[in-house]
Structure formats: C-alpha cells, structure tokens
Structure 1
C-alpha cells in the first residue's frame, strides 16, 4: 500500500514540490518529467505522472515561457456583439494551434471600449495583437505598432499589417447575381462608417454603372445590426420598394427580412459575411461569404512573423469573397408585390 503525502489544501494550487512529495522523488526530477526531457526511468516517469494526476497538477507553461522572455501569446480584440467576429475567432484558434502560439482574447462590449480591451492584452505580455475591424484611428494604431506588432483584420489601414476581404468585389458579386435574376431596381443598405462600408458602397456604385443602371442606384442609410436593417426596411416601405436589396452585412439583412416578412412584402435580399446566422435553416440567407479560414491563417502567420522578426511580404493581404446562393434571392417580378395582394 502506497503512503501518500498530506493532501494539498483545496484553496491552493498544487506545485512541483507537492508532486515530488506525492511521488517520493526530487523536485528536479519532477521538472524533467513535466518538460518531457530525458533523465527519468519509465517507472519513475509513470509514478510522477500518476502523482500529478491525483493532485490535479498541471504545469504552468505560460509562466515558464514568460520566464524565458517569450509568452507565445497572440492577443485578439473582437466585438462580442458581432457574430462574424466570433466566426473569425474560431478560425484564429485553429490557425494559432498550428503555429504553437496561444490566443488571449479581449472583448469590446457596450461598456468596455477598444482602448480598454487593448490595454488588457498589453498587460498579458502578448507578443503581437490581432485586431478585428478596429475602430481606433490610423494614428492610434500607428502608435500601438511602436510597442508590439499589430495585424488588423477586416479593415484597410495604411502603415499597418492588414488582412482583409475584397469588399468592393463582394458587392460586384451581389449586383451581378441580382441582375442575372432580372433585377434592375437594386438598393444598397450601407454600413455607415463601419470598416469596409466605404469599399462596399464603391463596389455597389461601380457594379450598377457597369450594368447600365446608374439611374437605379439607391443607397439607404443602414448599419451593422438587425435594428439598423429594420430601420432601413421601414424607409423602403415608406418611400417605395426596389425589387432587390444588397445589405451591408448578414445581421443588417436579417433585420430587413424581418420587417419585410411582417409587411408581406416580397423582394430579394442578399447579405454579406456568411456568418452562422445566415446559415440557419429558417433564415437561409443568400450572402457574400468572407473566407474566414484563409483570413485567419494569414493573420496568424503575419503576427508570428512579426513577433519572431522574420521577413514578411507586403503589408496588405486581400482575400477574395464568394457568392453563396440560398433562399432569399429569386427572379425579379414586374414590381414587388405582397403575398396578400397576390392571393386576391
């Protein structure tokens, strides 16, 4: 029967010394086993690992890295209210795992601004930051790069490493799809001052021009949320419906769909991002997909290159979008009609 050391108090985290006492070996031998280095016999290694398991001991790899001068942490700032940001974070974890780095997340919330989110990561001694669609000014981002490497995602910024989607091309795809279905009166609900909004407006205008529809160009104030989309849809109902709408993002498009469904108005709606909400079966939103996996791999690779002082290529990396056709777009009618009017 084994004699175990005195149990570790529940309010204290087990240490190397506790494992050494439990296994009946030296602390230095436990350290060798935990680092998976040679020097311990198979039986001793097994005894140490069993002791660690009984005590619930887990090596603090982060503390060891910090002592070495490297945290191998990539800080990520994201908006907690944005579904698309959550999709990017999911793929960033996958990309980071392949490099041996870990992520430290810091969220922007209604009562926690971006500056506070960044400050928290600086205190964690991250080796580089990945900022998803940041609201900070170009000057603020430039100052931040003097402290550590910064990679910006989903926004074009001069003088900083950027990984973004080709936003203007996305609206080209949207307008091409809608005109191919026979639509001419196509409105764009824009994203205001949100990252990418200006490029999407530009893409919409140029696509309408290319299809010979400059007089049908119509930009309606919108935003990033379902509430913004709903407000824009009410404007369309009051001022006259087009036959199709290209919304700034999927959340905005979902707000449009909600108001139009309640009003029994039928028109084609296309979103942007292909976030998890767009893929829900009861929404089934036609959308422009951003390649979050490719963008995340590029962002992590660039952050690691900068953190390790490796040679890096051009500052801005642009990933092409693609069209995903689902159930919210279809052939144009002579004019938008309500389901109720069609039944009469």
Structure 2
C-alpha cells in the first residue's frame, strides 16, 4: 500500500476550478477572491485534509510556531513526577487552539540545558521558552536575553529581573499549613525540602522559618532531598530515627510524601495517629494511597495554561508582565490528625 499523498494548494485549486493564487488568497484571508469562492476553497481544503506547511509558515512570518520547555532532570523522572505531567498538560491545553506546538527536552545537567537553548535558537526551533526551577545565580535568564529568546518563568522570578513570571504565593500556603498543624497540637514539625539550590526551596524555607517564629515554634527541622521517592524515604528515616521525633512532616512534593507512608509503616509509626504527613503539591497519587494524603493544591495545570498564554503574548510583542495566580488551598485528608504528644 503506497503512502498517502499530502494534499497541496494545486490539488485544492484543481478541485475548486480556480488558480493557485486564488486558493492562497482564500486560505490566508486576503482580499482578491469573492466570498463564495473563499467558502468553496475552505470547504475543499477541509475535505481534502489540507494543512499549512509549518516550513512555509516559518518562511512567511519568521516564526517556528513552537514554544520550548527544558527540564533539567533525567527523562525517566517525568513518568513518575506528577508536577511536570500536570504542568505540561496545562501548557498543551493553553496552546491547543493556537496551532502552537510544545517542544520538550529533558537534560541531566545545566550545561546540556543551556546547549539546548543555543541549538534551538540557532535552528529557529522555538519562538520562546518556559523556564522552571530557577537556581541561585541562574545564568539562564541572561543567556536567553543574549539570544533574544522571549522567556517566562514558572514560579517567582525574584532572582531574574526583567523576566516575566507566572507565580503563586507559597508563603500564604505555608502559613495556612503550619497554622493548621499547630491548631491540632503539633509543636515538633519537620520539612523535607527540595534541592537547596532552587530559588523556590530557599523562599519556602524563609517562609517556614518566619511563620514558625510567629507561631512560637522552636524551629522547623529541615532535610534536603531531590524530590525522588528514594530520597524522600531516606530523609523520613533520618527524621524518625532522631531523639526528638517530629509529630508532623511537610514534604516539598507528593512523591516523597508517598514514600514516607511506606517508611512509617516499615518503622511501626502509625499515620496519622503517631505522625501527620502533608504533601506540597496535590495529585492523584495523594488521593490513591491509604490514608489519603493531606496536600497543598497549587493547581499546577493552571500554572501551565497561564504560562503558555503569557509567553504567547510576549512573543506577539506585548510588554512583559507578571501573573499572580490564586493562592494555594490546603486539602485536609486522612494523613493528618491531632498530635498525641
């Protein structure tokens, strides 16, 4: 069986009985053809399954009609990390009606990520990029400015002046979370944080410390991890093996919190009778385990939709503007209960 032949403007012209020039005018919404001819050409184009060539579009308007997202994580982690799946789903939803594609690449170090941006720029593969996980002293905003690639940060771009961001008030969620635990009698609260070099890890840490002080807590013990289940389990064992075992632990992602449930069972620590657990981002994982995990819902898909819209506006020449989304919501479930100690 021979492969299907892509329909061309010449095919549409032959079927409509008009010139190729008339078809081009009709398809591009230009003057020069009657309304009746335009309608007939468009109907035939749909019937034949014609779509504009992306290469031709790029030549005509200078755009690739694609946005880029590089994730500096091993590719296999994307399959188990709900945050990125929700974010990508939101981005795709935001792009669906615009004819814009998302170009996704996973890299395993910062150098490879920067090389990807340079390659995309050199090959004119993307019109702009979404930045995630800003790092202390992050060189990416300056690199993208040098390349002339529009960028939007997903998260608070406090260390990237001039780069618009789509962000949410994490401090508000931290205040609500700690106040909730304190109201249930918890005084020894720990946090399993993400990598220390991420800006959002540092900002959350500062908010935890400030809120703990306001609530009269001696301090929030903190262990850094890499968002993986293995690291979340390791951090949990360390915390539960100490002399002053916490009565509640807050995790910077859902994967680590789910791993903590297994560790607690392994060590004979009952959740929530002996230990309350809270996951930072809500996901299907949090709802499927037993007991279901209390979680902070930051509506990650909405981050993706809003970031896509903001970047498309920037590519179209709109002035850079930050977008603050609605505050996160704490969703109490079965993994939290009043402290017995």
Normalising by structure 2, we get a TM-score of 0.80
- Corresponding residue for 1:18? 11
Q: Distance in 2 between matches of 1:155 and 1:47?
A: 48
| Number of equivalences | 323
Report 1:250-289 matches (<5 A): 250-266=254-270, 267-280=275-288, 282=290, 284-289=292-297
Match of 1:324 among 328, 331, 340: 331
Deviation at 1:40, TM superposition (A): 5.7
Report 1:197-236 matches (<5 A): 197-214=201-218, 217-236=220-239
Match of 2:183 among 180, 185, 188: 180
Deviation at 1:256, TM superposition (A): 1.1
1:34 aligns with 2:27: yes
> Which structure 1 residue ranges, 4+ long, deviate > 6 Å from structure 2?
none
Structure 2 unmatched ranges of 5 or more = none
Deviation at 1:71, TM superposition (A): 3.9
Match of 1:158 among 160, 184, 189: 160
Report 1:122-201 matches (<5 A): 122=121, 123-134=123-134, 137-146=137-146, 147-156=148-157, 157-159=159-161, 160-193=163-196, 194-201=198-205
1:106 partner SS: strand
- Corresponding residue for 1:333? 340
Q: Distance in 2 between matches of 1:114 and 1:136?
A: 16
- C-alpha change, 1:70 and 1:222, in structure 2 (3 Å) is closer
Q: CA RMSD in A?
A: 3.3
- Alignment check: 8 A CA contact 1:170 1:200 kept: no
Q: Distance in 2 between matches of 1:331 and 1:18?
A: 72
1:208 partner SS: helix
2:288 partner SS: coil
Match of 1:57 among 38, 45, 50: 50
Normalising by structure 1, we get a TM-score of 0.79
- Greater relative contact order (CA < 8 Å, ≥ 6 in sequence): 2
1:114 partner SS: helix
- Alignment check: 8 A CA contact 2:193 2:223 kept: yes
Deviation at 1:293, TM superposition (A): 4.9
